[in-house]
A and B are shown apart, each in its own frame.
Chain A
Amino acid sequence: MNAASKPVPSHVGLQAQSPWRRVVLEFISSPTAVVGLLVLVLIMLVAVLAPWIVVQNPYDLMQLNVLDARLAPGSANMDSGYTYWLGTDGQGRDLVSAILYGLRISLWVGIGSALIAAVIGTLVGLVSAYVGGWLDALLMRLVDLLLSFPVILMALMILAWLGKGVGNVMLTLILLEWAYYARTARGQALTESRREYVDAARGQGIGPWRIVVGHILPNCLPPLIVIGALQIARAITLEATLSFLGLGVPVTEPSLGLLIANGFQYMLSNEYWISLFPGLALLITIVAINLVGDRLRDVLNPRLLR
């Protein structure tokens, strides 16, 4: 291939750059991914800053007025004249506030569980690959078993056992997700450990633990980051689904899924907004994460690189 005729930096130039710089440059060359990332950053900002943005704390029953229940979007508050831009739900919660607080829970559960699962799964995968033998066989059979059943079935099983609660939902997600990271980390570590630089490190007398953490792990990261991005979206969807079914978060702290479920009973009387807007918030969040994740997969995929 003639490198000079292409506008993008040639392969030689790529190697001279730092790999992360190349990843960033390639990432921003896709407009949809950049839009996805911007939306995602915006969503995370409003979720984190929710207590300072919203007009009421939707979890504080003292601030809710039952007389304001199920008001249409654009209605005014009885006391202070504040406009409910997206209407109110069955308990008189301002939906904007409820959605922002719901986003906080959804993102916290999704990102938190994905990160913890990533750490546990990666560790298990690395140990499994490095130790090998019966431990490897045992751990990988366990992973096979976990991954061979649909997530919703396993989640029902674990939540029937643990009961409701934000912590329990996170624990369930972690128990289900770590296997994805473990399988990928193990596969990647096995490939990497056969490479020359690992032999070189061993030849220099570096200990096994330092080789695994300092040399093999960094080279396993790209596929794990991709899985992480997509797993966050899956975790958020699953949390919403479980909360919708009444098995997830408690009614006093509604996440987006529970807000949608609460709106379901009012939908038959044409009060559509209680289910519609939290669902849109959920949809936008998931699509944004998926767009970013898809682009990351294209950029970080080692098969496309080499």
Chain B
Amino acid sequence: MIGWTLRRLTQSFLVVLLMTLVVFVGLNAIGNPMDILVGEDLNQAERLQAIAHLGLDKPLWEQYLIFLKGAVHGNLGQSFVYHEDAMRLILQRLPATFELAFCALFLAVVIGVPLGMFAGTYPDHPLSRMMMAASIVGFSLPAFWVALMMIMLFSIKLGWLPASGRGETRELFGVQWSWLTLDGLQHLLLPALNLALFKISLVLRLTRAGVREVLPQEFVKFARAKGLSPMRVMCMHVMRNTMIPVVTVLAMELGSTIAYAVVTESIFSWPGAGKLILDSINMLDRPVVVAYLMVVVVIFVVLNLIVDGLYYLLDPRVRVEGSR
């Protein structure tokens, strides 16, 4: 166990280190932020002073080392645009993104699991066939276009739900949340549903496959023979055994949900980290872009590590393979 943990930790550390190099060098190779940030009216001396102030006059490798040293201390530089700590900016916006991503996963489970269980129990029912066809469309639909259509239908035509912003928020643990107020929940529903569409299809298919695999097994027949109600058999015996792959896949999907929130946030004007990064890319605000990419990379690596760790603990086959 210790050997496995150490090796995985080293691997993860190397991945993060490699990504810092790729992100930093890549972003510095092309595009001069000075052209955008500094007005035409500056003279040459003032220009040079501004460059020196931002540390852009040093050679690239030295900039990278300074960046690395800062990164270890959680300092990824000052935003060129907001004149604030880039890391702080991201962390301020991250709760809104997390809120959106978790709500999307919640919706995916709440909608996808019951539908998947139905489709798995009655595979030939017309409703099940419809669900499977709909899930193919769910995989094909460009999410951003669906978002626009949702806004058009539910916000503009019907006027049921608001289309932008977080609505009223309430503080919990020093952070503002939308899901604690009714108005906030209304604002949350459309973007979360949009972000969840792909996951709903995924969960539906996984659950359906799982149910079809578990249903013919002996312990289900035995539970039925004991005279348990069909509801109890489904909830206690079938569902438990189908949820393992669903939970692992969703844990891994959390990272990509956070990444895809960029699209959803920009459409629904959700003030999360994704909207910030898009604005920052367009304004060539390098430190914020770098800070965002690094934060998401770290989230991703940590998630993978957790999922792998759980697998290691739960599945003995992985241990045998890992020791080779």
Contacts and interface: CB of A to CB of B under 8 A. Distances in A.
Interface of A: 145, 148-150, 152-153, 156-163, 233, 237, 240-241, 244-247, 257, 260, 263-264, 267-268, 270, 272, 275-276, 279, 282-283, 286-287, 290, 294
A272 B153 CA distance: 10
B297 A149 contact: yes
A246 B149 contact: no
Interface in B92-110: none
B297 A283 contact: no
Interface string B293-311: 1001100100010000000
A283 B144 CA distance: 11
A245 B151 contact: no
Given A153-B296, A160-B281, A162-B30, A276 B149 contact: yes
Nearest to B292: A156
B: interface residue count bin = 35 or more
B270 to A, nearest CB: 14
B289 to A, nearest CB: 5
Given A233-B140, A241-B144, A153 B259 contact: yes
B141 interface: yes
A175 to B, nearest CB: 11
Given A149-B255, A153-B259, 14 more contacts: A148-B15, A150-B256, A152-B256, A153-B296, A156-B281, A157-B293, A159-B281, A160-B289, A233-B140, A246-B282, A283-B140, A283-B142, A287-B140, A290-B139
Contacts of A240: 142, 144-145
Given A152-B263, A245-B266, A267-B156, A287 B26 contact: no
B31 A163 contact: yes
Nearest to B267: A264
A233 B266 CA distance: 23
A267 B296 contact: no
Interface string B17-45: 01000110011011100000000000000
B136 interface: yes
B145 A275 contact: yes
A241 B148 contact: no
B137 interface: yes
A258 to B, nearest CB: 11
Interface in B217-247: none
Contact of B281 (A237, A247, A282): A247
Given A153-B259, A233-B140, A282-B142, A267 B18 contact: no
A-B pairs with the 9 shortest C-beta distances? A150-B256, A279-B145, A150-B259, A153-B259, A161-B26, A160-B281, A286-B140, A287-B140, A244-B144
B143 interface: yes
Contacts of A150: 255-256, 259-260
Nearest to A162: B30
A270 B137 CA distance: 26
**Which of B23, B29, B142 gathers most chain A CB within 10 Å?**
B142
Contact of A283 (B145, B255, B259, B260): B145
A247 B27 CA distance: 15
Contacts of A160: 27, 281, 289
Contact of A267 (B148, B263, B282, B304): B148
Contacts of B260: 150, 152
5 contacts: A148-B15, A152-B262, A161-B29, A247-B281, A267-B148
B277 interface: yes
A286 B143 CA distance: 12
A275 B148 contact: yes
A145 B15 contact: yes
Contacts of B148: 260, 263-264, 267, 275, 279
Given A152-B259, A245-B262, A157 B26 contact: yes
A81 B18 CA distance: 61
A282 to B, nearest CB: 6
B278 interface: yes
Contacts of A268: 156
Nearest to A236: B142
Contacts of A246: 278, 282
A158 B18 contact: no
Contacts of A267: 148, 151-152, 156
Nearest to B11: A141
A275 B304 CA distance: 38
A241 B143 contact: yes
Which one of A158, A161, A240, A264 has the greatest number of beta carbons of chain B within 10 Å? A161
Contact of B27 (A161, A257, A263, A287): A161
B26 A245 contact: no
Contacts of A287: 136-137, 140
Contact of B262 (A145, A156, A276): A156
Contact of B156 (A148, A149, A270): A270
A105 to B, nearest CB: 15
A245 B30 CA distance: 20
Given A152-B259, A162-B30, A270-B156, A290 B281 contact: no
Tell me which of B137, B144, B277 has the highest count of chain A C-beta atoms within 10 A of its own C-beta.
Answer: B144
